[in-house]
Structure 1
Amino acid sequence: MAPLDPHSYADGESPLTTHVALTLYLDFATCSLHGSALLTLSAPHSGPLSLDTRSLTIHSAIDPTSLSPIPFSLSPPDPVLGSQLSLSLPAETPLSSILLSFSTSSSSALHFLSPSQAASPFPYAYTQCQSIHARSIFPCHDTPAARIRFSALLNIPSSLSAVMAARHHARCDPVPSEGGLSCPDSLWCAPGRIVEQFVMDQPIPPYLFAFAVGHIVYRDIGPRTRVYAGPDVVDEAAREFSGTEEMIRAGEKLFGPYDWVRFDLLVLPMSFPYGGMENPRMVFLTPTVIKGDAAGAQVVAHELAHSWTGNLITNKTNEDFWLNEGFTTYAERRIVEVVQGEERAALNMGIGWRGLNRTVERFRDNMEFTKLKPCMQGVDPDDVYSEIPYEKGFQFLWRIERQVGRPVFDEFTKKYISTFKFQSIDTETFIDFLKANVPGIENQIDLRLWVEGTGIPPDAMEPVSAVYNKIKTLASEFKNGQMPGEDEVAQWNGQEWELYLENLSSNVDPSQALALDARYRLSESRDWEVKVAFLELAISAGCKEYYAEAERSLKQVGRMKYLRPLYTALAKCSDEGKMLARRIYAEARNCYHPIAQGVVESILSKHA
């Protein structure tokens, strides 16, 4: 059987799932999930069929028409792929659907939080399925090549509410199940439970399946946008993201109609491992993007841009991940340029350029992962997650734009989106489409070097702007002990400081770091980008004075963008730093999402 995706057990000769009807029971007391999934295939099938699972107990597999059992087996778990669920569908009567019941108490996608961990009087639970974690929620073809529609019934405590990246249908009392559920009706219909019903009418890749359950309220901030959050955060979040509708309209002018009906935002607890996740109809966000000055809107711009590049057109495998993130980074900066101006977009690009150079250095011993299309066979996507697909992908598209001119590239982009919407494609399909619609481009740009080459191509370009150049100049003067004057930084916000810190020399001595913080209190910044960038710099310089602040930060936040540099800086600086990092992690581990736990454990193991 031909493999479809290096990260899935699905094969290219069997039909893929097109619809899933889910029934899920969340047990907060045991941090477990019980469920059933009615999978509909793209065509009737007999014989072997493989599905992806991770840490799922499969209780039954049934023909939903005849109620006959379907023989199945689970393979031993692979450290990357999880376990293969092998089904033997009857040869005499090909099946179009399969009913599975299952449960799990160790899902890599689902994070249960106690009230104290959620900083709330109530418990909380949420999912994060990118890149290959949907298989730990329900058995599926967990590849972006398989686009599914779904319906979902979530049975939860009646004191809580559920939200989902889908259309909310109803909130109602539970009724006895019709069979196939892995928990008995006595649990399903127990007092104090409620059922939230959702429907996703448009086909999405499984990694975009997402829900959250907790004490969640909302505020309307536009004709098609609500902000959902805990009661203590929701008003501040609504102010931070009040300009969302303007960004949606800018995106529509640039890239075509917004096809997802609503663009709602959910601010999760501090343990959420990413800045944002582009789940259609409801973006998930970390509260660290709420900065009080609307600067967090740039993260929203990125997740909004995914509505066209990533959600409408999806990478076929994780080897083509740049098609999602490179295009989205490009689209984000176009939206920011319209809404916030060219200088702000240039600062965004400058931070990205520094990040790209740092990431290439990170992979200097394994340059395969500096390619736009790397070989990912046997590689966990979480282990090599980086800025390469974002920033090298952006640079590739910006290079094409500079070659053909913005008007031509804008028309190309709109045609690309309209041609492949609601499809999953690979890099080769994009390159063929590019050459067909921009004749001769392969003679003007070395497309193969950009896609298959390692490192940064020679025709990539650092951004140019007056503000960006001024900040770089000020950073270069710091090595001589010259700090920027208060008049020079008076109008700076977090992004300017982030860029300044990114451009400082790596061999800053402790006295310089202490002096900089004494003047500008960067270690106390409310902007997490600034705080973490400074703490990383100071700890790497040997300033033990900041160990306590690093510990407070690592116990407060679960965003991997901050965990990676702080744990790495501690683990690399000294034996004392290593011991501190291990102690902090032991105490904070349960507050981190399972994906973040794996990342931190990898860092600590690497620097043991």
Structure 2
Amino acid sequence: MAAVDPHSFTDSSDPPTTHISLSLYLDFSTATIHGAGLFTLARPHSGPFSLDSRGLSIDAVIEPSSRATIPFTLSSPDPIRGSHLSLTLSNQASFLIRYSTSPSSSALQWLLPPQTFTKSHPFVYTQCQAIHARAVFPCQDTPAVRIRYSARLNIPSHLSAVMAARHVERRPPRNDDALDVVLPSSWCAEGRVVEEFAMEQSVPPYLFAFAVGALGIREVGPRTRVYAEDVAAVLDSAAAEFAGTEEMIREGERLFGPYEWERFDLLVLPPSFPYGGMENPRMVFLTPTVVKGDATGAQVVAHELAHSWTGNLITNKTNEHFWLNEGFTTYAERRIVEAVQGEQRAALNIGIGWRGLNEDVERFKDNLEFTKLKNNQQGIDPDNVYSQIPYEKGFQFLWRIERQVGRPAFDEFLKKYIATFKFKSIDTETFIDFLKANIPGIENLIDLVLWTEGTGIPPDAHEPDSTVYKLIVSLANEFKNGRMPREDEVADWQGQEWELYLDNLPESIETSQIIDLDSRYKLSESKDYEVKVSFLRRAISCGCKTYYNEVEKTLKGVGRMKYLRPLYTALVKGSGNEDGKVFAKTLFSEARECYHPIAQGVVEAIFAKHL
């Protein structure tokens, strides 16, 4: 017997779960879900059977046909993996579990009406990546085990639900919804409704996702609806931003093969969502910060769409091989962007990524293990080592292979790779073996071991080579001599150009220079958070307190970790920065409850390192 994943209690001798039927009663008054799950295994099993759990109260485990109780134990919590739920089975291939979630569930954020766009209705949503599905329902919470599921969400009738699954129906509750397991007596109470869903394709548990609130809808394409809180300005802006989604789907199909998920709907969440986007199949979750008004937010959509082939269809077996999800998806995203928006836009995207890669390699200079593509995460919380490295170093690796063999040959390889491994979870070794079998001799042309197991950035990685990229970097380098770009030079710039410019400014900047730059171009007031946060981070780093009000508004207005991490780090980093540290601690104490639990943990880790 052995663990299949350093982040899971799942045992290699246990049969995998193939299907879970869930009944979930959402109690907004207590921020709790009362649930029942019918679990079906690939084969009957006798003896101990392991599941992951975090913050769940397990009321009973029951044999479905005889109604006999099944013995179980729940361990004290491990700080990373949560609690080990061990059942004692007797030649059983199915069982029922009745349980409740914790109000402090790491996967759920319950928002009060003032924390939402509507200001009048509550909202709840899940975020299960990387190892938080176990905080919504007990499961073999590893991407090595793919499941199908059905779900009945019992919610207040004035709200509606969406899910990363096919919507079956919205209907009144029925007694048999509860799987013959006692759930709250109010299950069939007046004022409740059931939204029923089914996911008929196998997915890793981290892709389990739902949201409940006062939702509105806009149609933007034959396969795509935009959902958001029912506020016209939010819905209309999002629909305009993502109007080109169908074109991106068609380009993805041309490049990577059939789209296997039927629909590609988009949900714009409240500002507290901790990521730019989450690639939940059929229902991508997005931060409202990607709605920029100039269609450039569609690049985040391109990334989540690309996951439909690389990540959702082919999944990393464990988080130690996360680059197989994100490196491939970053490559695929940029191919889609290039096809839809042009080579120069893709080159800017690569340039921003190149800068991010270098910054994160520097971030992990004291722990180079996490600059490897394939790394050891035993005893490591994956949320604490989340970075751009699997995205950008993984992209660079694939781009290196493309340059070696040529794009036409690499495109054929990618299509064969996706067709071969779809609906499977694989590791780095499986990919390397497939690469060597299908591109004979590649190991003699590229150091595959250095790329996958070596630290830092390999010498044959490649900074983008485009006219626009070089011009922006050149202008940024001239800033140290006091030369800021002229208005005619930036007249056509959008957010990406400014982001790239700011990210390439010299580390040592005078306070007067940063104020002069903002005075001319109003970067601190940008509606594009990529630009705004890049500028504010630079301002904080050079000791400029002029913008603390904007920093406060930003950190209290959004919960995306891409913005929280650099701003809080800049505030608390370095000795002799007591004002910044006090300011950061005060801000966090006031904003904490508006952040998702995952984001709260990231900020707390920053404080633990620097305070």
* One-letter amino acid of the counterpart of residue 599, structure 1: V
Residue 45 of structure 1: SS of its match in structure 2?
strand
The answer to whether structure 1 residue 390 and structure 2 residue 383 are counterparts is: no
CA distance in 2, matches of 1:546, 1:406: 46
The answer to whether structure 1 residue 87 and structure 2 residue 87 are counterparts is: yes
The answer to whether structure 1 residue 57 and structure 2 residue 57 are counterparts is: yes
Residue 272 of structure 2: SS of its match in structure 1?
coil
The answer to whether structure 1 residue 449 and structure 2 residue 450 are counterparts is: yes
CA distance in 2, matches of 1:115, 1:181: 34
The answer to whether structure 1 residue 584 and structure 2 residue 587 are counterparts is: yes
Partner of 2:146: 147
CA distance in 2, matches of 1:178, 1:253: 42
Partner of 2:342: 341
CA contact (8 A) 1:374 1:452 kept: yes
* One-letter amino acid of the counterpart of residue 419, structure 1: T
Partner of 2:426: 425
The answer to whether structure 1 residue 602 and structure 2 residue 605 are counterparts is: yes
Partner of 1:280: 281
* One-letter amino acid of the counterpart of residue 522, structure 2: R
CA distance in 1, matches of 2:183, 2:343: 59
CA distance in 2, matches of 1:603, 1:546: 21
Partner of 1:131: 130
> So what's the TM-score if we normalise by structure 2?
0.98
In the TM superposition, what are the counterparts of 1:170-319 in structure 2 within 5 Å? Answer: 170-177=169-176, 184-232=183-231, 233-319=234-320
Partner of 1:492: 493
Partner of 2:155: 156
CA distance in 2, matches of 1:256, 1:119: 38
CA distance in 2, matches of 1:156, 1:584: 34
CA contact (8 A) 1:151 1:199 kept: yes
Partner of 1:323: 324
Partner of 1:565: 566
Unaligned runs of 5+ in 2: none
Once the two structures are superposed, residues 132-179 of structure 1 have per-residue CA deviations (whole angstroms, 9 ceiling, x without a partner) of 000000000000011000000000110100000000001011122466
| CA apart distance, 1:186 | 2.1
Pairwise CA RMSD: 1.0
CA distance in 1, matches of 2:375, 2:359: 18
Sort the Cα spacing of 1:113 and 1:181 in 2 relative to 1 into closer, same or farther, 3 A: farther
CA distance in 2, matches of 1:60, 1:178: 17
Q: Which range moves more in the overlay, 195-204 or 226-235?
A: 226-235
Partner of 1:117: 115
CA distance in 2, matches of 1:62, 1:186: 19
Partner of 1:102: 99
Residue 51 of structure 1: SS of its match in structure 2?
strand
CA contact (8 A) 2:36 2:179 kept: yes
CA contact (8 A) 1:60 1:180 kept: no
CA distance in 1, matches of 2:475, 2:181: 62
* One-letter amino acid of the counterpart of residue 103, structure 1: S
Sort the Cα spacing of 1:404 and 1:390 in 2 relative to 1 into closer, same or farther, 3 A: same
Once the two structures are superposed, residues 173-225 of structure 1 have per-residue CA deviations (whole angstroms, 9 ceiling, x without a partner) of 11224666776442211221111000001000000000000011111111110
Instruction: Give the total of aligned pairs.
Output: 605
CA contact (8 A) 2:19 2:40 kept: yes
CA contact (8 A) 1:354 1:502 kept: yes
Unaligned runs of 5+ in 1: none
CA contact (8 A) 2:35 2:183 kept: no
| CA apart distance, 1:119 | 3.0
Once the two structures are superposed, residues 394-450 of structure 1 have per-residue CA deviations (whole angstroms, 9 ceiling, x without a partner) of 000000000000000000000000000000000000000000000000000000000
* One-letter amino acid of the counterpart of residue 375, structure 1: N
* One-letter amino acid of the counterpart of residue 431, structure 1: I
Partner of 2:45: 45
Partner of 1:543: 544
Q: Which range moves more in the overlay, 78-87 or 223-232?
A: 223-232
CA distance in 2, matches of 1:186, 1:386: 45
CA contact (8 A) 1:216 1:229 kept: yes
Once the two structures are superposed, residues 434-478 of structure 1 have per-residue CA deviations (whole angstroms, 9 ceiling, x without a partner) of 000000000000000001000000000100000000001100000
CA distance in 2, matches of 1:475, 1:86: 57
Sort the Cα spacing of 1:180 and 1:197 in 2 relative to 1 into closer, same or farther, 3 A: closer
In the TM superposition, what are the counterparts of 1:352-391 in structure 2 within 5 Å? Answer: 352-391=353-392
* One-letter amino acid of the counterpart of residue 609, structure 2: K
The answer to whether structure 1 residue 532 and structure 2 residue 556 are counterparts is: no
* One-letter amino acid of the counterpart of residue 369, structure 2: E
CA distance in 2, matches of 1:47, 1:16: 14
Residue 382 of structure 1: SS of its match in structure 2?
helix
Residue 383 of structure 1: SS of its match in structure 2?
helix
* One-letter amino acid of the counterpart of residue 594, structure 1: P
CA distance in 1, matches of 2:177, 2:559: 39
CA distance in 1, matches of 2:117, 2:261: 32
Once the two structures are superposed, residues 208-251 of structure 1 have per-residue CA deviations (whole angstroms, 9 ceiling, x without a partner) of 00000001111111111000012221111000000000000000
* One-letter amino acid of the counterpart of residue 316, structure 1: K
The answer to whether structure 1 residue 332 and structure 2 residue 330 are counterparts is: no
CA distance in 2, matches of 1:182, 1:390: 44
Once the two structures are superposed, residues 19-75 of structure 1 have per-residue CA deviations (whole angstroms, 9 ceiling, x without a partner) of 000000111111111101111101111110000000000000001111110000011
CA distance in 2, matches of 1:308, 1:495: 26
CA contact (8 A) 2:352 2:500 kept: yes
CA distance in 2, matches of 1:504, 1:182: 61
Residue 507 of structure 1: SS of its match in structure 2?
coil
